[in-house]
């Protein structure tokens, strides 16, 4: 075990898989000599060389096409989109091409591609760096969307993503990169994609969330506990496909739920979670499922992040509202 | 700095003269660049072009009868399509656009699979293991960036194979086509990009795509080689493709080939009416350039092609089309469970649930 930040765990996962499988390739803008703009690929170029870890021209769509082509030569590409706000440039190559390859070839071809990309608010980035766009990809059949909230999960999920024989979008919240350390095993281990984790057990209400909001919700739950409200906190970890079993089992126990996301109300995965709860556990609900989200504006100018991003207080208020419904 | 062309006027297009080997009378006008081909190869190329013309005619009428679905006519482009594919090795990769079905078939796709693609059946995308090709691309330009990836993969694997990519004149306006040529150039990847300039992207003439005088010169932006050829001349197309292939195999990087060609039919059979945007005069003019006419004249002058050969080929094509259509019609209908089953290697929980739901429904229908 070593103490690692989330970004170190991510680097470690890639290093592990580059060693483990000679078909794994890492490429993107500035990922080679520079080690990535966040140092996520630090040291990989030195250890594995230009053949395995290489820079690309500055063109996201081309990077996506490159990944598909390399996948068809039996490589296992890990492509990086420098910031997820730039993914619109690669929307076709990811959502229309990588996602559909297995289906449109009737299973003859497949794309074992991992798309790594940082996102998320709270670090005052310039425009279109922090946007929460996971909802767009959760809507694309053929993709899986993974969003870790801590170093341990990040390593295990990224190794699973790289080993998955279908395309996985792996989104890394920038605020979580270096905000805390955690014990992470040095060896390879995997965490199943599509499985949520109960971070905190509770009997009164289920809080279902992912990404940076897991930490925020955890703090809220600790506060609420002091007031006698015991929250069960579920970290989705994978937002597509959803772990509907863990969600519904929790609600059958608590009979109440709040879904929390950093994305705007009209975006993210919150609405889908609520629809699944309504389909599967409506008669177990004592109150409508509450929602904590960002407002439906464009992602805020940096100086407005604090008033815009959902916070602990928003969660506490919504939990109390749902409890006293 | 390379030598400037004779009479260099300061214009970039002067670097991209049209390569032509056969004129419309079937006479060789450029002996120096005439490709070395055996009589058998010449006859086989002609056979494929005639076959493709007949199959195109049959496909049009089958589409009108509702026995085929999506179809993009190819008549006029036989030299551009078939002669360039003729330069490919069996192991080369082919990344076609939606119009480039003939190349796929001559590269090894069974005709009935091409018909299944037209009808919209997943088995039309299940390619034989030994066929190195990607399914026809509907998103104009996407196949180009994928070609750069395949070509880089082939290079990394140390294989003596290359990737051939096809797109039309309109596609050169897409970002992906530029990105692809640029990526392939940076990685010196073994790719050949073939731009079939048939002068129209649906109704929009090439003059409205770009102010560039040639499309071949777009290679300059990627720092790769570009060549413009008479796309109605099978020998010129073959020579250019062969040379580009050898250049790529030698590790010297990609080439963009622009073929000047024309489609006699509509853009697709989905209700396009070409009389709205182009004149009979223009079509008649291009019909005089017909690749079959000039190649036939050439081969007849060599005494290696006869009316009998032509008729035999035509009969064979008709027979094969009928047989392939029958085979396509005999393929079982698609079920929702088939489609769900092809989504992931291991079905997700949601997919599993839906397979259960739909298989119950499919059980009812039996």
pLDDT tens profile B13-46:
999 999 999 999 999 999 999 999 999 999 999 9
State the average pLDDT over residues B212-237: 98
- Is the pLDDT at B8 greater than 80? The verdict is no
Task: Report the C-alpha gap between A198 and A233 in whole angstroms.
Answer: 6
CA torsion A101-A105-A108-A112 (nearest 10°) is 0
- Is the pLDDT at B1 greater than 60? The verdict is no
For testing the chain B interface, which of A65, A79, A248 should be mutated: the one with the most B CBs within 10 Å? Answer: A65
Q: Please identify which of the residues B8, B27, B64, B277 carries the catalytic annotation.
A: B277
Q: Are strands A231-235 and A238-240 parallel, antiparallel or unpaired?
A: unpaired
- pLDDT, residue B3, reads 66
- Chain B residues whose CB is inside 8 A of the A70 CB are 149-150, 152-153, 156
Beta bridge partners of A198: A234
Sheet holding B191-197, edge to edge: B18-19, B225-230, B255-260, B191-197, B163-168, B93-95
State the average pLDDT over residues B121-137: 98
**DSSP state, B1?**
-
pTM for this one?
0.97
Q: Does B163 touch chain A (CB under 8 A)?
A: yes
**The pair of three-digit structure tokens given for residue B188, joined into one six-digit string:** 């010196």
With CA atoms as reference, the chain A residue closest to B186 would be A57
Q: What is the pLDDT of residues A10-59, one digit of tens each?
A: 999 999 999 999 999 999 999 999 999 999 999 999 999 999 999 999 99
Task: Report the C-alpha gap between A200 and A198 in whole angstroms.
Answer: 6
- pLDDT, residue B4, reads 67
Q: Does A79 touch chain B (CB under 8 A)?
A: no
Measured CA distances, A186 to A9, A168, B278 (Å): 9, 23, 68
Task: Report the C-alpha gap between A240 and A120 in whole angstroms.
Answer: 18
Task: Report the C-alpha gap between A59 and B171 in whole angstroms.
Answer: 17
- pLDDT, residue B363, reads 76
Test A242 with B142 for CB contact under 8 angstroms: no
- pLDDT, residue A115, reads 98
Beta bridge partners of A231: A205
- Within 10 angstroms of residue B54's Cβ, the number of other Cβ atoms is 20
State the average pLDDT over residues B123-133: 98
| Residue B263 annotated as catalytic | yes
Task: Report the C-alpha gap between A147 and B293 in whole angstroms.
Answer: 61
H-state helical runs in chain A: 6-20, 44-48, 60-71, 91, 101-104, 134-138, 151-163, 213-226, 244-254, 270-281, 305-308, 312-323
- pLDDT, residue B196, reads 98
For testing the chain A interface, which of B96, B110, B133, B149 should be mutated: the one with the most A CBs within 10 Å? Answer: B149
Task: Report the C-alpha gap between B366 and B364 in whole angstroms.
Answer: 6
Measured CA distances, A320 to A204, A283, A323, A324 (Å): 11, 21, 5, 6
Helix, strand, coil in percent for chain A, rounding step 5: 40, 20, 40
CA distance, residue A73 to nearest chain B CA (Å):
5
H-state helical runs in chain B: 39-64, 78, 84-85, 101-107, 111-119, 142-156, 175-186, 219-222, 234-249, 280-287, 291-302, 307-329, 336-341, 349-365
- Chain B residues whose CB is inside 8 A of the A61 CB are 145, 175-176, 179
Of A66, A108, A109, the CB nearest to B149: A66
pLDDT above 90 covers a percentage of chain B that reads: 93
Q: Please identify which of the residues B267, B294, B296, B298 carries the catalytic annotation.
A: B267
- pLDDT, residue B366, reads 47
Task: Report the C-alpha gap between A184 and A150 in whole angstroms.
Answer: 10
pLDDT above 70 covers a percentage of chain A that reads: 100
State the average pLDDT over residues A62-74: 98
Q: Does A165 touch chain B (CB under 8 A)?
A: yes
CA torsion B295-B45-B199-B56 (nearest 10°) is 110
- Is the pLDDT at A171 greater than 80? The verdict is yes
Of B145, B175, B342, the CB nearest to A66: B145
Cβ within 8 Å of residue A60, ≥6 positions away:
A81, A86, A87, A89, A90, A93
- pLDDT, residue A1, reads 84
Task: Report the C-alpha gap between A130 and A143 in whole angstroms.
Answer: 21
Q: What is the pLDDT of residues B262-304, one digit of tens each?
A: 999 999 988 888 999 999 999 999 999 999 999 999 999 999 9
**The pair of three-digit structure tokens given for residue B295, joined into one six-digit string:** 């190649």
State the average pLDDT over residues A73-91: 98
H-state helical runs in A94-212: 101-104, 134-138, 151-163
Q: Would you place residue B364 in the very low, low, confident or very high pLDDT band (cuts 50, 70, 90)?
A: low
* Contact of A113 with A167, CB cutoff 8 Å: yes
- pLDDT, residue B365, reads 55
Locus of tokens 């260099």: B8
Chain A segment 233-262 residues within 8 A of B by beta carbon are 241-245
Report the candidate in A322, A325, A204 with the shortest Cα–Cα distance to residue A258: A322
Test A243 with B349 for CB contact under 8 angstroms: yes
Q: What is the pLDDT of residues B68-114, one digit of tens each?
A: 999 999 999 999 999 999 999 999 999 999 999 999 999 999 999 99
State the average pLDDT over residues A209-222: 98
* Contact of B245 with B88, CB cutoff 8 Å: yes
* Contact of B221 with B228, CB cutoff 8 Å: no
- Is the pLDDT at B195 greater than 50? The verdict is yes
Measured over all CA atoms, what is the biggest interatomic distance in chain A, rounded to whole angstroms? 60
Locus of tokens 């291991």: B346
**DSSP state, B14?**
G
State the average pLDDT over residues B41-55: 98
**The pair of three-digit structure tokens given for residue B8, joined into one six-digit string:** 């260099």
């Amino acid at each position: 075990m070593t103490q690692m930040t989330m970004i170190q765990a991510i680097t470690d996962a890639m290093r592990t898989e580059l060693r483990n499988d000679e078909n794994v390739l890492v490429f993107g803008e500035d990922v080679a000599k520079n080690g990535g703009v966040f140092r996520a690929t630090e040291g990989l170029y030195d250890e594995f060389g230009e053949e395995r870890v290489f820079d690309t021209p500055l063109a996201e769509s081309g990077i996506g096409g490159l990944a598909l082509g390399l996948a068809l030569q039996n490589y296992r590409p890990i492509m990086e989109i420098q910031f997820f706000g730039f993914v619109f440039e690669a929307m076709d190559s990811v959502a229309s091409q990588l996602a559909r390859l297995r289906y449109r070839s009737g299973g003859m071809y497949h794309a074992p591609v991992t798309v790594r990309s940082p996102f998320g608010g709270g670090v005052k980035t310039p425009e279109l760096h922090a946007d929460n766009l996971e909802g767009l990809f959760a809507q694309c059949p053929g993709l899986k969307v993974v969003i870790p909230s801590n170093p341990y999960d990040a390593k295990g999920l990224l190794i699973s993503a790289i080993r998955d024989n279908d395309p996985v979008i792996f989104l890394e919240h920038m605020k979580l990169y270096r905000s805390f350390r955690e014990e992470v095993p040095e060896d390879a281990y995997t965490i199943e994609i599509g499985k949520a984790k109960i971070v905190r057990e509770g009997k009164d209400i289920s809080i279902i969330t992912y990404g940076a909001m897991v930490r925020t919700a955890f703090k809220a739950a600790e506060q609420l506990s002091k007031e006698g409200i015991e929250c069960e906190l579920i970290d989705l970890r994978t937002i597509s496909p959803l772990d509907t079993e863990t969600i519904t089992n929790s609600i059958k126990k608590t009979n109440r739920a709040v879904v929390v996301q950093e994305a705007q109300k009209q975006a993210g995965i919150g609405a889908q979670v609520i629809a699944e709860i309504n389909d599967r556990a409506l008669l177990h609900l004592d109150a409508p499922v509450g929602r904590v989200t960002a407002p439906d504006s464009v992602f805020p100018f940096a100086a407005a992040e604090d008033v815009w991003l959902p916070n602990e207080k928003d969660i506490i208020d919504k939990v109390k509202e749902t409890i006293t419904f | 700095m390379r030598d400037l062309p004779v009479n260099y006027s300061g214009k970039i297009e002067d670097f991209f003269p049209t390569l032509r080997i056969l004129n419309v009378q079937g006479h060789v006008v450029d002996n120096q660049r005439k490709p070395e081909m055996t009589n058998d190869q010449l006859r086989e190329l002609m056979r494929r072009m005639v076959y493709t013309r007949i199959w195109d005619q049959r496909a049009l009428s089958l589409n009108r009868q509702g026995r085929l679905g999506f179809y993009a006519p190819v008549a006029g482009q036989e030299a551009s399509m078939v002669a360039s594919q003729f330069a490919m090795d069996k192991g080369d990769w082919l990344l076609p656009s939606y119009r480039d079905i003939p190349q796929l078939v001559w590269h090894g796709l069974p005709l009935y699979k091409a018909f299944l693609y037209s009808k919209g059946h997943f088995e039309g995308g299940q390619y034989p293991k030994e066929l190195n090709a990607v399914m026809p691309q509907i998103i104009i330009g996407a196949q180009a960036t994928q070609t750069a990836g395949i070509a880089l993969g082939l290079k990394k694997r140390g294989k003596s194979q290359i990737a051939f990519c096809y797109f039309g004149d309109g596609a050169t306006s897409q970002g992906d086509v530029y990105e692809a040529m640029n990526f392939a150039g940076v990685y010196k990847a073994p790719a050949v990009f073939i731009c079939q300039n048939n002068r129209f992207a649906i109704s929009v003439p090439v003059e409205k795509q770009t102010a560039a005088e040639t499309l071949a010169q777009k290679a300059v932006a990627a720092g790769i080689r570009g060549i413009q050829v008479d796309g109605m001349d099978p020998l010129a197309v073959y020579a250019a493709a062969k040379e580009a292939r050898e250049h790529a195999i030698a590790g010297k990087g990609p080439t963009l080939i622009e073929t000047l060609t024309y489609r006699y039919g509509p853009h697709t059979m989905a209700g396009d009416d070409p009389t709205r945007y182009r004149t009979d005069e223009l079509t008649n003019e291009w019909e005089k350039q017909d690749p079959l006419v000039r190649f036939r004249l050439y081969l007849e002058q060599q005494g290696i092609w006869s009316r009998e050969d032509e008729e035999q080929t035509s009969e064979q094509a008709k027979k094969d089309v009928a047989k392939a259509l029958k085979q396509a019609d005999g393929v079982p209908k698609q079920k929702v469970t088939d489609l769900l089953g092809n989504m992931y290697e291991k079905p997700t929980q949601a997919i599993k649930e839906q397979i259960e739901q739909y298989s119950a429904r499919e059980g009812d229908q039996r």
